[in-house]
Structure 1
Amino acid sequence: MQPTFIAAIQLAIGLAILLRGTFTSAYVFMLYSGLLAGSAALVLPALGGSTIPPLQVALLFVIVAAALSPSRSLLLLPEAVRANRWLLCFAAYGIASALLAPRLFAGTMQVAPLKPLDSPDLFETALLGPSAQNLTSAVYLFGMVLVALAAYLVTCTQRGGIAALISTGIGIAWAHVVLGLVVMAAHGTPLDAILNLLRNGNYAQLDQSYQGFVRIRGLFPEPSAYADFGFAFMVLNAELWYRSIRPGATGPAAFALTMILTFSTSSTAYAALLAYGLFFVLRAFLTPRLAPASRIRQFAFAVLVIAILVAAMMLIVPELPVKFMDMVNGMTIGKSASASGRQRLFWALQGWDAFVGSYGIGIGPGSFRSSSLVTAILGSTGVIGIVSFALYLRSVLQPRRQSTYGRVALLEHSIGGAFAVAAIFSLIPLVTSSAKPDPGTNFAFLAGTALALRPKQRRKERGEGARAMTLPHGMSQTTTA
Structure 2
Amino acid sequence: MFVVPMLIFWGLALWGLFSRKPVLIYLFFATMPFGSLAALPPPMTAGLTFTPTPIVALLIAARSLANLRGVNFVIATALMPSRGLLLFLFWLIAVFTTLFMPRVFLGQVDIIPVRGTLNASYPLYPTPQNISQLAYLTISIMTVVAFGRVLQNEAMRRHALLGLCLGAAIAVFTGFLDFASQYAPIAPLLEPFRTATYALLTEVEVLGAKRVIGLMPEASSFGNLCLGFLTLMVFLRHWMSGDVVDRRIFLSLLGLLVLFCWLSTSSSTYVGLVLLAGLAGAEWLWRAYGSNIRRARTRGLKLEFWLAFGGVSAVLFILLMIPSLFDPITAMFDRMVLQKTGSQSFEERNMWTAVSLQAMIDTYGIGVGVGSTRPSNAFVAVLSSVGILGTLFYYGFVVQLLARNAHPDDKEGAVVVSAVRWAFLPIFIVGFLIGTSADFGLFVAFQYGCLIAVGTRAETLRRARRREVADPSSEPRFSAMPLGNVADTRG
- TM normalised by structure 2 equals 0.83
Deviations 1:17-36 (A, max 9, x none): 233344x3223322322221
Equivalent residues in 2 for 1:20-419, closer than 5 Å: 20-22=19-21, 24-45=22-43, 49-66=47-64, 73-81=70-78, 82=80, 83-117=83-117, 123-156=119-152, 160-187=155-182, 189-206=184-201, 207-242=203-238, 246=242, 248=247, 250-285=250-285, 288-289=289-290, 295-307=300-312, 310=315, 321-398=326-403, 401=405, 410-419=411-420
TM-superposed deviation, 1:47: 7.0
Q: Which residue of 2 aligns with 1:429?
A: 430
Report deviation, 1:88: 2.3
Tell which deviates more after alignment, 129-138 or 107-116.
107-116
Q: CA deviation at 1:278?
A: 2.7
How far apart, in 1, do the equivalents of 2:40 and 2:34 lie?
13
Contact 1:354 1:380 in 2 (8 A): no
| 8 Å CA contact 1:238, 1:251 repeated in 2 | no
Give yes or no for contact 1:108–1:128 (8 Å, CA) kept in 2: yes
> Partner amino acid for 2:49?
T
Counterpart amino acid of residue 19 in structure 1: F
| Structure 1 residues 45-67: Cα deviation after superposition (integer angstroms, max 9, x where no partner) | 48762211111222343244336
In structure 2, relative to structure 1, the CA distance for the partners of 1:51 and 1:415 (3 Å cut) is same
Question: In angstroms, what is the RMSD of aligned CA positions?
Answer: 3.4
| Contact 1:80/1:153 (8 A) holds in 2 | no
Displacement of 1:371 after TM fit? Answer: 0.8
* C-alpha contact 2:279 2:422 (8 A) present in aligned 1: no
Measure, in 2, the Cα distance between the counterparts of 1:227 and 1:408: 37
- State the shift of 1:343 in Å: 0.5
Q: Deviations over 1:88-140 (max 9, x none)?
A: 222232122122111111111222201032xxxx6322111111111111100
Letter matched to residue 386 of structure 2:
T
CA drift of 1:361 comes to 0.7
**% of aligned pairs identical?**
20
Partner of 2:453: 452
- Unmatched tracts of structure 1, length 5 or more: 471-475
Q: Is the 8 A contact 1:44 1:50 kept in 2?
A: yes
Q: State how far apart, in whole Å, the 2-side matches of 1:246 and 1:135 are.
A: 45
Contact 1:240 / 1:415 at 8 angstroms: preserved in 2?
Answer: yes
Contact 2:265–2:336 (CA under 8 A) maintained in structure 1:
yes
CA distance 1:417–1:327, shift in 2 (3 Å): closer
Relative to structure 1, is the Cα distance of residues 19 and 331 closer, same or farther in structure 2, using a 3 angstrom cutoff?
Answer: same
Secondary structure of 1:37 counterpart: coil
> CA 1:350–1:45 in structure 2 vs 1: closer, same or farther (change >3 Å)?
farther
Q: Deviations over 1:289-345 (max 9, x none)?
A: 257666554444444454456567769987663234323322222222111111011
Equivalent residues of 2:121, 2:355 under 8 A apart = no
Give the letter for the 1:100 counterpart: F
Q: Higher mean Cα deviation, 93-102 or 235-244?
A: 235-244
Query: Contact 2:161–2:240 at 8 Å: present in 1 too?
Result: no
Q: Secondary structure at the match of 2:165?
A: helix
Conserved in 1, the CA contact under 8 Å of 2:174 and 2:215? yes
Q: Give, in whole Å, the separation in 2 of the partners of 1:456 and 1:396.
A: 14
Q: Aligned residues, how many?
A: 459
- The Cα shift of 1:243 comes to 5.0
CA shift in 2, pair 1:40/1:261, >3 Å: same
Change (3 A) 1:397 1:253: farther
The answer to whether the Cα contact below 8 Å between 1:427 and 1:439 also exists between their aligned partners in 2 is no
CA contact (8 A) 1:416 1:451 kept: no
* Distance across 1 between alignment mates of 2:344 and 2:124: 24
Residues 188, 96 of structure 1: alpha-carbon distance in 2 compared, 3 angstrom cutoff: farther
Secondary structure (helix, strand or coil) at the match of 1:36 reads coil
CA distance in 2: counterparts of 1:351 and 1:327, whole angstroms: 31
| Deviation string, structure 1 residues 352-392 (Cα, Å, up to 9, x no partner) | 21221111111111111111101111111111221111111
Which amino acid in structure 2 is aligned with residue 202 of structure 1? T
SS in 2 for 1:370: coil
Once residues 67 and 412 of structure 1 are traced to their aligned partners in structure 2, the CA distance between those partners, rounded to angstroms, is 22
Question: Which residue in 1 is equivalent to 2:8?
Answer: 9
Sort the Cα spacing of 1:245 and 1:74 in 2 relative to 1 into closer, same or farther, 3 A.
Answer: farther
> Matched residues in 2 for 1:89 and 1:137: separation?
17
Deviations 1:217-273 (A, max 9, x none): 211112211122222221221111245764636555334323432343211112112
Asked whether the equivalents of residues 58 and 139 of structure 2 are also in contact (C-alpha less than 8 Å), the reply is no
CA distance 1:361–1:456, change in 2 (3 Å): farther
Structure 1 contact 99–364 (Cα < 8 Å) conserved: yes
SS of 1:382's partner is: helix
Q: C-alpha deviations, 1:178-237, integer Å up to 9, x for none?
A: 221222122253211211221221232222322331222211112211122222221221
Indicate the SS of the match to 2:49: strand
Do the aligned partners of 2:5 and 2:192 also contact (CA within 8 Å) in 1?
Answer: no
Q: 1:37 to 1:243 in 2, by over 3 A?
A: same
Residues 378/319 of structure 1: CA separation in 2 closer, same or farther (3 Å cut): same
TM-score normalised by L of structure 1: 0.84
Deviations 1:150-169 (A, max 9, x none): 1112213x572111011111
Aligned letter for 1:256? L
Query: Hey, what's the Cα distance between the residues in 1 that align with 2:157 and 2:399?
Result: 22
- Distance (Å, rounded) in 1 between the aligned partners of 2:43 and 2:74: 35
C-alpha contact (below 8 Å) 1:240/1:246 kept by paired residues: no
Q: What secondary structure, in the 3-state scheme, does the structure 1 residue paired with 2:32 have?
A: helix
Segments of structure 2 that go 5 or more residues without pairing to the other structure are: 465-475
Q: Give the drift of 1:438.
A: 0.9
